Structure 1
């Protein structure tokens, strides 16, 4: 991987030894179409605004022929560029994966560029995961936008207009009580967010422990359960076996794709057992297959906790 400094930017050109589509690999980090920390421009460049141990960073990634080009600005630029290969799945290993269902095999053949990337950053995955607990996606994404724009900082460098770096743990702990109502966060999720903010540095070790040990470390914090730990593990260290049990849609979606009918979490665990220790990889293939569960009723109406 070639890395050079260009003015205030750190730039790299990397030729991966595998097929990779940065848009596909980085899409799990996007929180809704209006995510202020994630953008896709007309040239196919993915822009991410992130926190790092060294400070804020804006990272721009795009495919250029058989190379991936990355540019980073801000105090965390070096850290982000060094982690770019892993972010795009260089450390992902699907050795031993067997497609036990025809649909999984078909999806895998159609998407050889699907990789499980590792951001190496627990905090940036943990905050939105907490916001998404037990609410609709629209509710969670609205709060995420409010939190980033009110308490984050403008993305450094030539980032697209309106991009913000997520707030740091220190900034979250300093948010006044009344502001939590304005961003639309209820008491339970607020308590969980403040709890992880108070031990955020120690929780970053989960990305080093990885696997079950990493998820167990996250679950030591009150308000962090199986679902939230799995959502973080999938993004922070590309955990191939982290299944988001307890998700409102997941069991139904997988059941419909593989069996043609809804199932519950108990049946989901049994259905995915042959794929252990790569159950999440199988789910990603199913999600990329394009199979959709039919809708049988009206969608849930988003609630608004904001106080004006």
Structure 2
């Protein structure tokens, strides 16, 4: 990715938030790299160099600024096909920092060759995948050391270093400090909840987004109270809970202490669910008048792919309210009890393995028609066996084809799952009644023709059309 140094320096001197997360500034006189929004004294242009990612700045030998904290910069959305693959792989890295990752496994998950993945990382992030992984681990460790009271050994494990010695060696080599230097004089105990902020690129219509989620919460798993989204969490063999509230140009996230070992996956799940990496200006520009009245509208994602997909199947051809009822029964029957601070959030959704082991009659007893129960079991089996991935980074067209190959899943359901679980911005649930109603009750064919003008943001267009229906109902009530 080419950067215009003069434009980047202008953005740095103006503290232009539009460039935050897109450009990082290395200052050769200090050896430090910053975000464009950093409020330190502006250095001379002659000592500044500019990088497309934090990883590229660190690969050039710069250390992260302790004031603007590059680890808190907002993420990026993909703008074209190659960027989609690169960002999908980067997203997988961010969600699995504690795992034993390899270029081959990442390339396999996004459906490309190792060589192609390396080329894409060089093109979009300025570094090799291994360099990107190292930087993300270092920045996560830096964040955990700064923002939590977790023991340093737990920080090392959560950030994927494997041992305290490996973490200390990496900090000395790349940051020229010991990890404990980031610790303040007073920190909460290790048993306390963990608190984080997740930045985004404004505007964000949090109220509309959380209303969408509130209308589709699963009893026992999720709850929305006074604008706070709460849910149970099952990740990487650990369970716990989280809460999300709006803050200043960021979301305030609280995780239970039990999720300390799964912080990367938990935070990545929140980013997906609230679509925090979106570029609202790009969407509004592409959709034109359709999006101008709601510039901060986001595409709700999914914290748990199998949870979202099962709920989508349960909701086929019935109302949203009826689907919530069935999903609540399903969770109560097959989920696992969990203690949380909230009485209404008390169960984790069953795993794909648990669902795949159910019988059709067990699910049908809940009031689910047998054909739909068969689809749910087949869907869960495909996920449990690794044949189907329901998260961003999965090959979109192949995944949609796999979904539609299951009896009972048609184009609408497959695209709705792609829209939310895969976070695919161009998903289009063909024939959707709400879309057709918002367009004046045109035919499915006519709606499809109009939707061509919205590529590659058709999923966002669908959200705007659904939102316009709700506004029309409010205006006539």
Match of 2:450 in 1: 271
Pairing 1:191–2:374 present: yes
- When residues 29 and 199 of structure 1 are mapped into structure 2, their CA distance, relative to the original with a 3 A threshold, is farther
CA shift, 1:215, in A, is 2.4
- Aligned match for 2:277, one of 84, 91, 99: 91
**Distance in structure 2 (CA, Å) of the matches to 1:138 and 1:192:** 21
Greater share of residues in helix? 2
Pairing 1:254–2:438 present: yes
CA shift, 1:120, in A, is 6.0
Q: How many residues align?
A: 283
Identify which range, 58-67 or 192-201, moves more after superposition: 58-67
CA shift, 1:127, in A, is 0.6
**Distance in structure 1 (CA, Å) of the matches to 2:214 and 2:331:** 13
- When residues 122 and 34 of structure 1 are mapped into structure 2, their CA distance, relative to the original with a 3 A threshold, is closer
- Aligned match for 1:283, one of 454, 457, 462: 462
**Distance in structure 2 (CA, Å) of the matches to 1:205 and 1:177:** 22
Q: State how 1:128-167 maps to structure 2 within 5 Å.
A: 128-167=311-350
**Distance in structure 1 (CA, Å) of the matches to 2:400 and 2:317:** 19
- When residues 133 and 282 of structure 1 are mapped into structure 2, their CA distance, relative to the original with a 3 A threshold, is same
Q: State how 1:61-100 maps to structure 2 within 5 Å.
A: 61-73=244-256, 74-75=258-259, 77-78=262-263, 79-93=265-279, 95=282, 98=285
Over residues 169-221 of structure 1, what are the superposed CA-to-partner deviations in whole Å (9 max), with x where a residue is unaligned? 22223435543233111111001001011111422265313543442343343
CA shift, 1:123, in A, is 0.8
TM-score normalised to the size of structure 2? 0.53
Contact 1:61 1:68 in 2 (8 A): yes
CA shift, 1:235, in A, is 1.6
Q: Secondary structure at the residue paired with 2:342? A: coil
- Aligned match for 2:418, one of 233, 236, 247: 233
Match of 1:224 in 2: 409
Over residues 221-274 of structure 1, what are the superposed CA-to-partner deviations in whole Å (9 max), with x where a residue is unaligned? 333221112221222232221111243x22432222xxxxx1221111012111
TM-score normalised to the size of structure 1? 0.78
Contact 2:435 2:466 in 1 (8 A): no
Pairing 1:45–2:228 present: yes
CA shift, 1:133, in A, is 1.5
RMSD after superposition:
3.0
**Distance in structure 2 (CA, Å) of the matches to 1:134 and 1:118:** 21
CA shift, 1:277, in A, is 1.5
Contact 2:391 2:423 in 1 (8 A): no
Match of 1:299 in 2: none
